Chain A
Amino acid sequence: MFQQNYFALFDLPVQFSVDRKALSLAFRAKQSAHHPDKFTHADASAQRESLQASAFINEAYQTLSNPTRRAAYLLELAEGQVRKEHTMRPDADFLMQQITWREQLEDALDVEAIDCLIDDVNKLLPVVEADFVSAYQQGDFEHAHHCVDKMQFIYKLVAEAESKESRLLDE
Chain B
Amino acid sequence: MALLQISEPGQSPDPHQRRRAVGIDLGTTNSLVATVNGALTQTLPDSSGESLLPSVVHFGQDRVSVGRAARDMLAEDSANTIASAKRLMGRGMADAEGLPYDFVPSPESGLPMFVTRAGAISPVQVSAEILNVLRQRAEESLGGDLNGVVITVPAYFDESQRQATKEAASLAGLKVMRLLNEPTAAAVAYGLDKAEEGTIAVYDLGGGTFDISILHLHKGVFEVLSTGGDSSLGGDDFDEAIAEWVVESAGIAPSRDERRQLLALARQVKEVLTERDSVELDFNGWCAELSRVQFEALIEPLVSRTLRSVKRALRDANLQRDDIDNVVLVGGSTRVPAVREALETLFGKPPLSSVDPDKVVAIGAAIQADILVGNKPDSDVLLLDVIPLSLGLETMGGLNEKIIHRNTTIPVARAQEFTTYKDGQTAMMIHVVQGEREMVADNRSLGRFELRGIPPMVAGAAHVRVTFQVDADGLLSVSATELTSGVEASIVVKPSYGLSDAEIANMIKASFAFAAEDKDARALREMQVEAQRMKESVSAALQVDGHLLSAQEKRDIHVALEDLQAVADQSDEHAIKVHIDRVAHLTESFAARRMNASIKQALAGHNVNEFE
- The residues of A with any CB-CB pair to B shorter than 8 Å are 24-25, 28, 31-32, 35-38, 40-43, 51-52, 54-56, 58-59, 61-62, 87, 89, 162, 166, 169-170
Contacts and interface: CB of A to CB of B under 8 A. Distances in A.
A58 B219 contact: no
Interface string B1-36: 000000011110000000000000000000000000
Given A41-B374, A58-B412, A36 B471 contact: yes
B61 interface: no
Contacts of A61: 409
Contacts of A32: 380, 382
B68 interface: no
B413 A31 contact: no
Interface in B309-323: 312, 315-316, 318
Interface string B393-414: 0000000000000001111111
Contact of A24 (B148, B219, B372): B219
Interface of B: 8-11, 148, 177-178, 218-221, 312, 315-316, 318, 371-374, 380, 382-384, 408-414, 469, 471-472, 611-612
Interface centre among A35, A38, A41 (most CB of B within 10 A): A41
Contacts of B10: 41-42
Contacts of A170: 312
B220 A37 contact: no
B471 A40 contact: no
Given A40-B177, A58-B409, A35 B384 contact: yes
B315 A54 contact: no
Chain A binding surface, main DSSP class: helix
Contacts of A36: 411, 471-472
23 contacts: A24-B219, A31-B384, A35-B382, A37-B372, A38-B382, A40-B148, A40-B373, A41-B8, A41-B11, A41-B374, A51-B411, A51-B471, A54-B411, A55-B412, A55-B413, A58-B411, A59-B412, A59-B414, A61-B409, A62-B409, A166-B312, A166-B316, A170-B312
A84 to B, nearest CB: 11
Given A31-B382, A36-B471, A89-B612, A41 B9 contact: yes
Contacts of A37: 178, 371-372, 382-383, 472
A48 to B, nearest CB: 10
Interface centre among A52, A54, A62 (most CB of B within 10 A): A54
B218 A24 contact: yes
Contacts of B384: 31, 35, 58
A93 to B, nearest CB: 18
A146 to B, nearest CB: 14
Contacts, number: 71
Interface centre among A31, A37, A61 (most CB of B within 10 A): A37
A87 B371 CA distance: 52
Nearest to B10: A41
8 smallest A-B Cβ distances: which pairs?
A: A41-B10, A55-B413, A36-B472, A55-B411, A58-B409, A166-B315, A40-B177, A54-B411
Contacts of A52: 413
A51 B374 CA distance: 18
Contact of B318 (A40, A55, A162): A162
Nearest to B11: A41
Nearest to B12: A41
A66 to B, nearest CB: 11
A25 B380 CA distance: 13
A41 B414 CA distance: 26
A164 to B, nearest CB: 12
B599 to A, nearest CB: 12
B315 A58 contact: no
A55 B408 contact: no
Contact of B472 (A51, A56, A59, A162): A51
Contacts of B372: 37, 40
A58 B178 CA distance: 18
A41 B19 CA distance: 11
Contacts of B611: 87
B462 to A, nearest CB: 17
B9 A40 contact: no
Contacts of B408: 58, 62
Contacts of A35: 382, 384, 472
Interface centre among B9, B11, B380, B472 (most CB of A within 10 A): B472
Contacts of A54: 411, 472
Contacts of B315: 166, 169
Nearest to B469: A55
